[in-house]
Structure 1
Amino acid sequence: MTLVQHHDDLIATAAAIALPGKGLLAADESTPTIGKRLAGVGVENNEAMRRAYRSLLVTTDGLADFISGVILYEETLFQDADDGLPMVEHLQKRGLIPGIKVDMGVQPLAGGCAGETWCTGLAGLQDRAARYYARGARFAKWRAVLRISEAGAPSELAIRENAWGLARYARTVQEEGLVPIVEPEILMDGDHAIETTAARQEAVLKAVYAALAENGVLLEGSLLKPSMTTAGASHHALQSPRQVGRITVQTLKRAVPAAVPGILFLSGGLGEEEASVYLDAINREGRRSPWHLGFSYGRALQQSCLKHWHGSDVAAGQAALLARARANSEASLGAYQPGSQPSDGDSLFVAGYSY
């Protein structure tokens, strides 16, 4: 079955997300995860405070200069902002494309290596996708999680299972008009070298695109959200931004078809400034690559914003958000000057990160 009904719209939406100098704001944290973020600035996790914080994000004027869309959690997609206007309408009136996280989290993978997982959420996905589209969402996200370990992870079983899940998700949401963001995240946990990450990531990406092809996914109407290719967080050797840029682009060129319009990197626990510097290095290295090399950051766009907002100061929070959005916009053009935008200097790495 071909995707005749939504073919042109899927291609147009993917292209609109992958514009030069643009990326995505990932504001799709689950209720428990946003609770941890709010607790970090002394704010209670209740519906009113979640609404207040996410209202700050979607009402930030000028955000569309640097951001093409926002990934929402289901609560937010169907929630009204503090002024009574639906969150999704605030995004639309500012020229931002609404998106939605559709996976239901990970579960332990029986038969895999210790700590390996598979992603849930395919049951009922077609109906949910149709409901999200009717509400105004135009793209979706599904996060598969893989890890590298001395025990042999990612195992062949984990690679196949997560690649197939990503492909079934992508085909399903495309049939309902949503552009799928395919996210095979490789966690930063471990003490392995960057070359090890590159080899494992190449194998994962090749398996993902083989599964997408088998399921008839329209690549021109899809996007990729991978990890940057870095050494494990506990690795003893230093890695330069230039090395990260070179090996990341090399890995992608070996595994990702040119038909994909955009690659939007996740920050994966990198600090705000570090995520911008690495993205800049990737774009300097990949100037002749066939894809837009942008960003889809959550913590690396929101950390300073949360701290400055602190539960009440909307103007300060929005100013901090715009500063990091501007930094990453410049980085996605290979034009970022390190330190030129204010940022929170804290590490954002969390071992075994889940949300």
Structure 2
Amino acid sequence: MTHQSMDHTAAALVAPGKGILAADESTPTMAKRLSAIGLESTEPRRREYRELLFTTVGLSEYVSGVILFDETIRQRTTDGRPFADVLSSAGLIPGIKVDAGTKPLAAFPDEVVTDGLDGLRDRFEEYAELGARFAKWRAVLRIGEGRPTPTCIEANAHALARYAALAQEVGLTPVVEPEVLMDGSHTVERCAEVTTEVLRAVYDQLARHRVRLEATLLKPNMVLPGSDCPEQADDERIALMTVEVLRRAVPAAVPGIVFLSGGQSDEQATTRLDAINRHVPQPWELSFSFGRALQAPVLRAWAGEEANRSAAQAALLHRAGLNSAARYGSYRPEMETVRA
């Protein structure tokens, strides 16, 4: 693929009013989500649930692309169509999560580095053949006493850059996800400090690895106080600090920023995305790549019952529509109760 087609994919993923559905939960994570609604996680059940998501009529009005898991990109609908084809024909861009999860960083207690670079070039070629047009790799950084260390930041930034270069080599647009977790008692100011340091390290490594920024997206955390911090921040403060950090650390060549929801409730993720989008124009599109914050109401509505399928799809459309409104800074809390 050419530079132009990767650039085009990046721009299409952050088209006005649209964002990404992250449906790339690993098998253990999916087991947790299903057990929360009293269901056992089996391959047929995971397939059935994801088919429900991907065949929602009208989803492309609010969602530009869908991140798949390795199992999911190989699955088919009940009538035998590969999921990637179903998405493409509905106007949604198929993507793939390629990292292999986190492992302890040797000699650095409580710190992790993401696995999955071994054999990635070959896997990328296979994923491209299976229909993926973009990819995602997640790094995880924890705030704590003396953490994250410079070594942990550098190891994760380096892995993200190597992944991104390999993705572009095969023509896939890389989504770069350095997540600073909200676990802990740190203040919003500390989160801003760490997020700035992490993003600067990531863009330094992307430059060293000759990654074309126009053909990438950034998937960062919002700047939030730790979940155990006694002093929480309001949405406006979170929005201001998030935008300030991004302006200090993210080059203008990056076409879009797709926030992760990371531990926030459905409504929190939407109201904060809305607050951030009230500070436009910025050099980049400010969008979403939500997993749980889009899917939680869908799982509740579905509960594993075929009879609830249309209600579950309506819940997905409703939630996606609210996040689409937040992209324009036009979301209102009262929209929560008015079904589109």
Q: Under a length normalisation based on structure 2, what TM-score does the superposition of the two structures give? A: 0.97
Q: Which amino acid aligns with 1:128?
A: R
Query: 1-side partners of 2:68 and 2:282: how far apart?
Result: 29
Query: 2-side partners of 1:20 and 1:26: how far apart?
Result: 18
Matched, 1:20 2:10: no
Shift in Å at residue 237 of structure 1?
1.2
Match of 1:282 in 2: 276
Matched, 1:7 2:40: no
Matched, 1:260 2:264: no
Shift in Å at residue 179 of structure 1?
0.4
Q: How do 1:126-205 and structure 2 match up within 5 A? A: 126-150=121-145, 152-205=146-199
1:243 to 221, 230, 237: 237
Q: Which amino acid aligns with 1:306?
A: L
Query: 2-side partners of 1:22 and 1:208: how far apart?
Result: 25
Shift in Å at residue 175 of structure 1?
0.4
Shift in Å at residue 83 of structure 1?
2.4
Is the contact between residue 320 and residue 342 of structure 1 (CA under 8 Å) also seen in structure 2?
no
Shift in Å at residue 238 of structure 1?
2.7
Query: 2-side partners of 1:9 and 1:177: how far apart?
Result: 8
3-state SS of paired residue (2:262): coil
Match of 1:122 in 2: 117
Query: 1-side partners of 2:263 and 2:2: how far apart?
Result: 35
1:219 to 213, 229, 250: 213
1:296 to 282, 289, 297: 289
Q: Which amino acid aligns with 2:315?
A: A
RMSD: 1.0
Shift in Å at residue 137 of structure 1?
0.4
Query: 2-side partners of 1:333 and 1:67: how far apart?
Result: 14
3-state SS of paired residue (1:123): coil
Match of 1:110 in 2: 106
Is the contact between residue 10 and residue 179 of structure 1 (CA under 8 Å) also seen in structure 2?
yes
Is the contact between residue 25 and residue 70 of structure 1 (CA under 8 Å) also seen in structure 2?
yes
Shift in Å at residue 342 of structure 1?
4.5
Query: 1-side partners of 2:314 and 2:287: how far apart?
Result: 21
2:50 to 54, 69, 72: 54
Shift in Å at residue 253 of structure 1?
0.1
3-state SS of paired residue (2:25): coil
Query: 2-side partners of 1:6 and 1:229: how far apart?
Result: 35
3-state SS of paired residue (1:267): coil
Match of 1:352 in 2: none
Query: 2-side partners of 1:89 and 1:238: how far apart?
Result: 44
Match of 2:61 in 1: 65
Specify every segment of 5 or more residues in structure 1 that has no aligned partner in the other structure, as ranges. Answer: 344-355
Q: Which amino acid aligns with 1:74?
A: D
Is the contact between residue 6 and residue 175 of structure 1 (CA under 8 Å) also seen in structure 2?
no
Q: Which amino acid aligns with 1:300?
A: A
Identity value in percent? 52
Q: How do 1:310-325 and structure 2 match up within 5 A? A: 310-312=303-305, 313-325=308-320
Shift in Å at residue 255 of structure 1?
0.2
Q: Which amino acid aligns with 1:301?
A: L
Q: Which amino acid aligns with 1:43?
A: L
Shift in Å at residue 81 of structure 1?
1.2
Q: Under a length normalisation based on structure 1, what TM-score does the superposition of the two structures give? A: 0.93
3-state SS of paired residue (1:284): coil
Q: Which amino acid aligns with 2:35?
A: A
Q: How many equivalent residue pairs? A: 336
Shift in Å at residue 82 of structure 1?
2.0
